[in-house]
Amino acid sequence: MNLIEAKGLRKRFRSREVVKGIDMEIQQGEILALIGTNGAGKSTTLALLLGILPTDAGKITRWREDYRAHVGVQLQATPFFEGYTAEENLRLFAALYHVKLDKKQIDAKLAECNLQEARKTLASRLSGGQQKRLAIAVTTIHNPDLIILDEPASGLDPRARQEIRRMIQQLAKNKVTVLFSSHDMEEVSRIANRIILMHDGRIVAQGRPDRLLEQYHAENLDDLYLELTDTVPGKETQR
């Protein structure tokens, strides 16, 4: 089943078209990576899929009418409630979503993001990795069907990145569909079931990582990325 299906999506800001006819879907249960060059139109596409921005053309079908209540979105900078601890932030976000969490559930959430020892630490004092993990916990506090994470592991050291991967894989095991954007091809190849590669407002490739490597005779995702994004934005793409 597809949670979201988009056909012929287009978006223009003033005279400049930044999404140029995109067909894509988000399949239930998958870990989907959205990758592409800076300014390729990834964030704009996400905003269109989420109904945050109106489309200029195209059709989007979503799995339920009240989909907004069943999506968790973590943008690059997740604002926590300043002056509150990790645990208090979880409680505050739960209250925002009208989710009642008892002590056991809070403990489970803290364990999920490996923040038991930091529960009484002010969110602003948490390390970068801890903050990213808390952000994911907050994003999933209302048990959404779909979560969207914008560069969830950027700027983290290898161990902290591994923890984020572990969390994402655990979410997928719990039947949460995950769409994340990344510029780190190694991270993508480790966890994504499927990849969508965007360049200059278009999808230039999509599919399972192993199949894509085979199809384009590429050694790794970095090479594939470099090959398929080797055109100047605005000019016609090679493929």
Taking the least distance from each CB to ligand ATP, the nearer of 18 and 99 is 18
Taking the least distance from each CB to ligand ATP, the nearer of 52 and 69 is 52
State the nearest-atom distance from the C-beta of 16 to ligand ATP, in Å. Answer: 7
State the nearest-atom distance from the C-beta of 6 to ligand ATP, in Å. Answer: 15
CA distance 129 to 93: 19
Taking the least distance from each CB to ligand ATP, the nearer of 13 and 125 is 13
Closest CA to 36 of 185, 234, 237: 185
DSSP 7: E
141 burial level (CB within 10 Å; 0-12, 13-18, 19+): buried
State the nearest-atom distance from the C-beta of 139 to ligand ATP, in Å. Answer: 18
Q: What is the crossing angle of helices 86-96 and 103-112, to 10°?
A: 110
Taking the least distance from each CB to ligand ATP, the nearer of 62 and 199 is 199
State the nearest-atom distance from the C-beta of 53 to ligand ATP, in Å. Answer: 8
- What are the DSSP calls for 82-129, one per residue? TT-BHHHHHHHHHHHTT----HHHHHHHHHHTT-STTTTSBGGGS-HH
Taking the least distance from each CB to ligand ATP, the nearer of 115 and 201 is 201
State the nearest-atom distance from the C-beta of 188 to ligand ATP, in Å. Answer: 14
Chain contacts with ligand ATP (rule: CB under 6 A): 13, 18, 36, 38-44
Q: What is the crossing angle of helices 128-139 and 103-112, to 10°?
A: 130
